[in-house]
Amino acid sequence: MNAGSPPATAQGTRTQCTGGLVADDFISFSKVTKDFGSLRVVEDLELDIAQGEFVSLLGPSGSGKTTLLMMLAGFETVTGGEIRLDGQRINDLPTYKRDMGVVFQNYALFPHMTAAKNVAFPLEMRGTPRAEVADRVARALEMVKLGPFAGRLPIQLSGGQQQRVALARALVFEPRVVLMDEPLGALDKQLREQMQLDIRELHHRLGLTIIFVTHDQDEALTMSDRIAVFNQGQIQQCAPPRHVYDSPANRFVAEFIGETNLLAGKVRAIDGRAITFALPDGSICRARGVPGLAPGAEALLSLRPERIGIGAADAAIDGPNIARGEIADIIYQGDHLRVVIDSSVGRLVAQLGRKDAEWTPGAKVAVSFDEADGWVIAP
Amino acid sequence: MKLARAIYAALIIFFLVAPLLVILPLAFTSSAFLTYPIPSFSLRWFEELVVRSVWSRAILNSLIIAGSTTVLATALGTLAALGLRSLGLGLRGQIQTLFLLPMVVPAVVLGVGMQAIFVRVGINSTYFSVIAAHTVIAIPFVLISVSGALAGIDPRVERAAESLGASPPRVFALVTLPLAMPGVLSGAALAFATSLDEVVLTLFVAGPNQRTLARQMFSSLRENISPAIASAAFIIIVGTVLVAAALLLLRRKRA
């Protein structure tokens, strides 16, 4: 298979979703629109994907992510705009000529064929010599650790095994792109996490270009080079996982990825990257934020629960980024504690390690956060 | 309660097969009449079926007509089911109803209409007219059976095949058709049985040369009630059971 490491651009430095036809734009969507009757499900969408890149399309159901994948696979027509693969316009190219491996959520194995026959199918469609087919099928099944199950029919395999057969079938013919439509959605949690690591490993080892549709943010964070966050037919942000989580582009992204506390306030001043933010109770804090904010504008401060620190109310020194409050509730979550605090700036949810278990509801506390951990976005 | 249920089930089954139980033993009577008691066991009426040309001819006719009907109805019914499947939901229901009409319309009405058309075109009382008439009433059975099988196919499986490089004709040949095959086969069996059994239409559109077994039984009942009818019925039943058994076997082999 296509050995070698993916190009450097795939490693997570790109934050732009669009960039015109640069050399490394292996797949590009430009101004892509899709209507179902009078309903517009994808609107003027721009997305460029480099060869060897793992891009997740993440969003709630009905956000257009699956439709985009179906257009790329050729199962849905494109209403407007253009999809290019390796420089070639593929809007009207029939699915079977696109050379893309598709993995479906329900596996979509051929029920009347054994695992080996399923995997051999794409090779036989390409007229691969018989001896080579047998060899490659064996290797592909080995790769997904299903060698001993080659002769089984799909109904004789468990869900996880079926999905691995589907994976082998989508990879065995070395497609130019692998498309995955919520492939792990039907598996239980443990198996899902194992498969995430397996797919991630295959991606690195084989240098595959993978487009992965999911509504599970953990899955997207675990596996992707970049995450494209979808809502209402548009990409809200497209960036590496760390960037999407730490520096969400807007309120939707901040709330959809992970959990966050949103505090309404006003931008007081901007100095380079540092933003001075005024909370309604009059307190001032310093944080970072999205570009394009103006002093005096209404804005939201996003605070991740795990970035909030708690200290004893009397021990804390005064200063910016500190508020006082009282613990309303503590919820034990196994590996961490969720602490609900009624503070002077509003209700906050903080996430603490188990060592902080000495806090009890009713305790007066001071909450604080690092300047680099607060993130200001437009309301 | 359990006993009551068992008795009830036994009664229903008896009700269903009693006519067969009455007629089948008479196929082996040595008497010249279709009545009980049976004096002694004999195969003379089977011999009569083979030797008397009206009967042997009728059996041959039935095989030719039922065979052709099966091929035609299966092909057309399967195509219709495939076409309906690709239609939008609204239109599908209406057109399907249209296709099923021959099942609902009384055979006499169909027969009169067909005879009128066939006579005008000048092809009444030919094998073609009988086969065409039988095909019309056999198609709904194939359509229902194949539609059922197609409904059980996940369209994503076909999409998967296409994404793996199979052109639409190959998707059909390698995925859709094999998966629909059980439905096609039961449709074919039903079409065969329908044709074998059909009398009313045959009365209208067949001439003396297309006398089928069912038709021959029907007319010989009026002329002279000979036990040859029972023997013919025996052959039809055994034939039907064999076809059904072969189907079951085929299906089990696939599963």
Residue B244 has pLDDT above 90, yes or no: no
Looking at chain B, which residue has its C-alpha nearest residue A100? B163
Q: Rounded CA gap, A307 and A309, in Å?
A: 6
pLDDT digits (tens, 9 = 90+) for A164-201: 999 999 999 989 899 999 888 878 888 888 888 888 88
Residue B31 has pLDDT above 90, yes or no: no
Looking at chain B, which residue has its C-alpha nearest residue A70? B159
Q: Give the rounded percent of residues in chain A with a pLDDT score beyond 70.
A: 92
Q: Sorting pLDDT into bands at 50, 70 and 90, what band is A372?
A: confident
Question: Please, which residues 88-107 of chain A have a Cβ atom closer than 8 Å to chain B?
Answer: 94-96, 98-102, 104, 106
pLDDT of residue A198: 87
The reply to whether A109 touches chain B by the CB within 8 Å rule is: yes
Q: Sorting pLDDT into bands at 50, 70 and 90, what band is A16?
A: very low
pLDDT of residue B45: 87
Between A116 and A315, the more confident residue is A116
Helix (H) or strand (E) holding A15: none
Residue A349 has pLDDT above 80, yes or no: yes
pLDDT digits (tens, 9 = 90+) for A262-312: 988 888 888 888 888 888 888 888 888 888 888 888 899 999 998 888 887
> Does some domain include residue A167?
no
E runs forming strands in chain B: none
Domain at B131, CATH number: 1.10.3720.10
pLDDT digits (tens, 9 = 90+) for B34-88: 888 888 888 888 888 888 888 888 889 999 999 999 999 999 999 999 999 888 7
> Does some domain include residue A120?
no
Q: Using an 8 Å Cβ cutoff, are A287 and A263 in contact?
A: no
> Does some domain include residue A48?
yes
Contacts of A311 (CB under 8 A, 6+ apart): A365, A366, A367, A368
Q: How far apart are the first and last CA of chain A?
A: 47
Q: What is the largest CA-CA distance in chain A?
A: 78
Q: What is the largest CA-CA distance in chain B?
A: 71
Q: What is the mean pLDDT of residues A103-110?
A: 90
Q: Give the rounded percent of residues in chain B with a pLDDT score beyond 70.
A: 99
Residue B179 has pLDDT above 50, yes or no: yes
Note whether A318 and A229 are same-domain residues.
Answer: no
Q: Rounded CA gap, A376 and B197, in Å?
A: 81
> Does some domain include residue B10?
no
Q: Sorting pLDDT into bands at 50, 70 and 90, what band is A19?
A: very low
Q: Using an 8 Å Cβ cutoff, are A81 and A30 in contact?
A: yes
Last residue of a domain, one of A251, A281, A309: A251
pLDDT of residue A357: 62
> Does some domain include residue B14?
no
Question: Please, which residues 148-187 of chain B have a Cβ atom closer than 8 Å to chain A?
Answer: 154, 156-157, 159-168, 170, 174-175, 178-179
> Does some domain include residue B185?
yes
Q: Sorting pLDDT into bands at 50, 70 and 90, what band is B253?
A: low
How crowded is the C-beta side of A360, counted as CA atoms within 13 Å? 0
Domain at A73, CATH number: 3.40.50.300
Q: What is the mean pLDDT of residues A135-142?
A: 92
Note whether A226 and A337 are same-domain residues.
Answer: no
Note whether A204 and A226 are same-domain residues.
Answer: yes
Count of all residues that appear for chain B in the document: 255
Last residue of a domain, one of A231, A251, A271: A251
Q: What is the mean pLDDT of residues A334-343?
A: 87
> Domain span at residue B210?
54-254
* Closest chain A C-alpha to B138 CA, distance in angstroms: 28
Last residue of a domain, one of A219, A251, A283: A251
> Domain span at residue A41?
8-99+176-251
pLDDT of residue A361: 86
pLDDT of residue B163: 92
Q: Sorting pLDDT into bands at 50, 70 and 90, what band is A319?
A: low
Write the DSSP assignment of A236-276 as a string of letters. EEEE-HHHHHHS-SSHHHHHHSS--EEEEEEEEEEETTEEE
Q: Sorting pLDDT into bands at 50, 70 and 90, what band is B180?
A: very high
Note whether A241 and A285 are same-domain residues.
Answer: no
Chain A residues whose CB is inside 8 A of the B163 CB are 73-75, 95-96, 98, 100-102, 179
Q: Sorting pLDDT into bands at 50, 70 and 90, what band is B238?
A: confident
* Closest chain A C-alpha to B86 CA, distance in angstroms: 15
pLDDT of residue A14: 38
Q: What domain count does chain A have?
A: 2
Cβ distance B159 to A95 less than 8 Å, yes or no, reads: yes
Write the DSSP assignment of A291-314 as a string of letters. TT--TT-EEEEEE-GGG-EEEETT
Q: What domain count does chain B have?
A: 1
pLDDT of residue A22: 45
